[in-house]
Structure 1
Amino acid sequence: MRRGLLVLATATLVLAGCTNDIAGQAGKPAGGTPSASVDANLLGSGNFPIKPMTPLGTAGAPLTGALIDARRMADYVVGPWDVDPQMVIPGQARAVVIPDAAALGTILPAAVSNTVTAHHLIYGFASDRQDPNQWRLANSVLRFPDAAAAAAAADDLSAAVTKLSSTPNRAVPIPGHPDARATIYTYGLTPSADAPVTMYSFTQHGPYVVSQLVYAPQQDGAVAAVAATLDAQLPRIDQFVPTDPAQFPTLAMDPTGLLSHTMSAPTYPDPPGARPSDAKIGSYLPRAALHFQDDPVATAPLLDAAGLQEMTYNQTVIYRVKDAAAATKLVNDLADLMARIEVSAHPVNAVDFLPGSRCVQSEVDPTLTNGSIFYCFAALNNSVISVHDADATGARQETAAQYKMLLAP
């Protein structure tokens, strides 16, 4: 990130169809009858599951409902690329749904993140990226019960940062945002205007704490990064209508039925449900889908053109778009993008007996036996399947299995 940061034009990254909720009632998702050129019986799905989950119903537990609302809020969290279009390389965490202090600890030091427990953090969401020059920006929005709790949390988060080093860390003003509690963390080094810095910033905004973590080559750049992020984030979070926590148990886990038809991670040899659940598993609105992309700036216009309505995230990713023609085009667009942006990537054989599918191999480390990642894409009506796997056969079988799962009632 450089001085004079520009917020990327909103029109470029705001995808069509953004609303406060994923509309629709639970039911059979986009899928249906396969193309006449596809015989699903010929698709080799290996040991991957092909049956959908039972209907998911409502959250039931308050924490489950909180996670649903956190994933909905992700649509209103500014990605670092919104601040600087070069800030696209996934950071240490990429995208984080935050149910508690432990999850916040993937973005902030534990000694800092643990302070939110006393203020009854409801949930949060964070987006973490770097640029080619190793700048890093992690932007988080944390929801608390009310403005007073958020203000106290911001104070304690900021105070905890000052205790990270024996050398006093310095409070730094953020232009245009006098309420920002920003601190330069010096690692015990003598501060210098031209030395690399880590900056933590916490700003209370209604019931939210908006937090930035910035690694920068000098202080002015870090200040500019925080200011630009707050300029974009504060008005965007004002557009979000949070759910009353009393209603969390009543929230639908799968309003459209698409999530239950999205493949869960195989647990064999462990029984189903034996492994911890991932808070990121769920449904996302269009703009939130960008937090999960390898290159959100390049992917945004592709999803926009396809008329993305919903993305479901689990072992596989499903995009529900405006129609079958858009789905077919998105398969090719995503495969072409992977071939262009991934390391030493090139097209490879598609999924057998699945016309229109595309697969791409990225040689992350060609010197290793298993140094590749395989990406496969396929369409079924207005749904697009996205799979990645370290094994070529596994990627194709997983795609085939997901196709069969979308066909199931």
Structure 2
Amino acid sequence: MVEHRTSVTARLALGALAVLLVGCGTVEGAATPGEIDVRSLDVGRYTTVPADLEVGRKPTDGPVLEGLRMAGAVVFPHEVDPALIHNWGTDVLDTPQRASETSAISNVNLAVLERHRMIVGFDVAEGSLAFDRAKPAIETDARITRVVLLRFPGAKTAEEAARELEATDFRVSPDNQPVPIPGYAAAHAHWRPGIKTIGATFAHGEIVVSMFLQHSSPDIDALAKRVAAVLDAQIPLLDKFTPTVPDRIAELPRDPDGLLRRTLIPGPADQRIAISSREFAAWPGRAGLHYRPVEPAELGAAWDRGGVDSVANSYSTTLFRFRDDAAALAFGATWHDTLSAAAHPVAAPEGLPQARCAERRAGSAPALTRCYVSYRRYGAFVSGAEPGGVRQQAAAQYALLANAQ
């Protein structure tokens, strides 16, 4: 099955069970020449009416939406170090509390974040080895890079926050020593001699770049050069990013590229759903790269050739927008042709000959069924534990895409 760079999709399968709850299975519209008549599809009780996203607006949406914009401005660690092929976590940090719980920001820094009125953050971490909850990272030979972007209300505030974040971290251990970062005299960094990790902060405009890196050995020169390399790649991205004025964040569009309204959701189309980066959100533009599949390599190549320019996720559904119709079809064919040894093809929804489905078993966990369906330049994965329900999801997603034209 396809694996995404983000931890988001791994959680979406859990939402598949919730999709069986409520909803209106109305299938509207007639087919245009050469297209399937969606009224003939078995969509179960799933809604096929495009959602009115503004109906669901919540006060908590604004910071998350700004964080999703920042998702397109963060450097991907593997772009700096190609050895970092495994996702170790990716998400919006919509409160100081959540930011203080990440690996790049020590939990002793909650007061600093609150005092300087942190607005939102975005966090991405990748490693050279797969993440193993049973073993502390420091006990492995993994190379790790974690980058957190933290937004503050003004450049001066960000500069003060960067300095205080470093100072607070530095005081955690009497063995910590400052580390100069080549080419970045304004960067703050420290390490403990003999330990193969480094922490660093750097303010650029209203954003603080906070970094945590682990090397395969306690080589301080290598660690400092890696911090500099991250900043070399990160700063140009920040230069292209325009932070939203704080008092306009609450007005940010919930569906900037029109994908989320086309993405299958449980229940009626007019229900009120808060934006959640993990469950219900659009990832526009470059931010969509957090969903780019890593393995197999053929699928990542199909994504690149397909020119995916936006992604949306809604519980157990992930929708991609490709360059054209052919690219959307080709991506599904590549996915189906490169299934892992743990997966095998299963029946697709009746009436959708281009849909493809597979079942995967992972250890003692329940089997997961996933289907890929495309309509014009859009392609979507739906998934769940019950094969019949997943086929209805796929049919409903196709009908929803047709009805949204």
TM-score (norm 2): 0.77
CA contact under 8 A between 2:256 and 2:284: conserved in structure 1?
A: no
Query: Residue 331 of structure 1: CA displacement?
Result: 1.8
Matched, 1:54 2:52: yes
Find the counterpart in structure 2 of residue 168 from structure 1: 175
For residues 3-402 of structure 1, the aligned pairs below 5 Å read 33=31, 36=34, 38-56=36-54, 61=59, 64-91=61-88, 93=89, 95-108=90-103, 109-132=106-129, 134-165=142-173, 167-184=174-191, 191-192=193-194, 195=195, 197-220=196-219, 221-264=222-265, 278-280=276-278, 281-295=280-294, 298=297, 301-315=301-315, 316-336=317-337, 339=339, 344-365=342-363, 368=364, 370=366, 372-402=367-397
Query: Residue 297 of structure 1: CA displacement?
Result: 9.7
Paired letter, 1:290 = L
Give the whole-Å Cα distance in 1 for the aligned partners of 2:43 and 2:58: 33
The more displaced of 281-290 and 45-54 is 45-54
CA RMSD of aligned residues (A): 3.2
Q: Secondary structure at the match of 1:350?
A: coil
CA contact under 8 A between 1:57 and 1:252: conserved in structure 2?
A: no
Q: Secondary structure at the match of 1:38?
A: coil
TM-score (norm 1): 0.76
The more displaced of 356-365 and 201-210 is 356-365
Query: How has the CA–CA distance of structure 1 residues 296 and 74 changed in structure 2, closer, same or farther, with 3 Å as cutoff?
Result: farther
The more displaced of 301-310 and 375-384 is 301-310
Give the whole-Å Cα distance in 1 for the aligned partners of 2:167 and 2:114: 15
Q: What's the % identity of the aligned pairs?
A: 28
Paired letter, 1:80 = P
Give the whole-Å Cα distance in 1 for the aligned partners of 2:323 and 2:93: 31
Structure 1 residue runs without a partner (length 5+): 1-30
CA contact under 8 A between 2:71 and 2:122: conserved in structure 1?
A: yes
Deviations 1:136-172 (A, max 9, x none): 222121121111111111122212323444x432322
Q: Secondary structure at the match of 1:319?
A: strand
CA contact under 8 A between 2:61 and 2:275: conserved in structure 1?
A: no
Q: Secondary structure at the match of 2:330?
A: helix
Give the whole-Å Cα distance in 2 for the aligned partners of 1:362 and 1:86: 27
Query: How has the CA–CA distance of structure 1 residues 206 and 263 changed in structure 2, closer, same or farther, with 3 Å as cutoff?
Result: same
Find the counterpart in structure 1 of residue 23 from structure 2: none
Query: How has the CA–CA distance of structure 1 residues 397 and 59 changed in structure 2, closer, same or farther, with 3 Å as cutoff?
Result: closer
Query: How has the CA–CA distance of structure 1 residues 90 and 256 changed in structure 2, closer, same or farther, with 3 Å as cutoff?
Result: closer
Deviations 1:248-274 (A, max 9, x none): 23332224432122133569xxxx65x
CA contact under 8 A between 1:262 and 1:312: conserved in structure 2?
A: yes
Structure 2 residue runs without a partner (length 5+): 1-28, 130-140
Q: Secondary structure at the match of 2:323?
A: coil
Query: How has the CA–CA distance of structure 1 residues 159 and 351 changed in structure 2, closer, same or farther, with 3 Å as cutoff?
Result: farther
CA contact under 8 A between 1:48 and 1:398: conserved in structure 2?
A: yes
Deviations 1:9-42 (A, max 9, x none): xxxxxxxxxxxxxxxxxxxxxx994784635345
Give the whole-Å Cα distance in 2 for the aligned partners of 1:98 and 1:81: 21
Q: Secondary structure at the match of 1:254?
A: coil
Query: How has the CA–CA distance of structure 1 residues 375 and 239 changed in structure 2, closer, same or farther, with 3 Å as cutoff?
Result: same
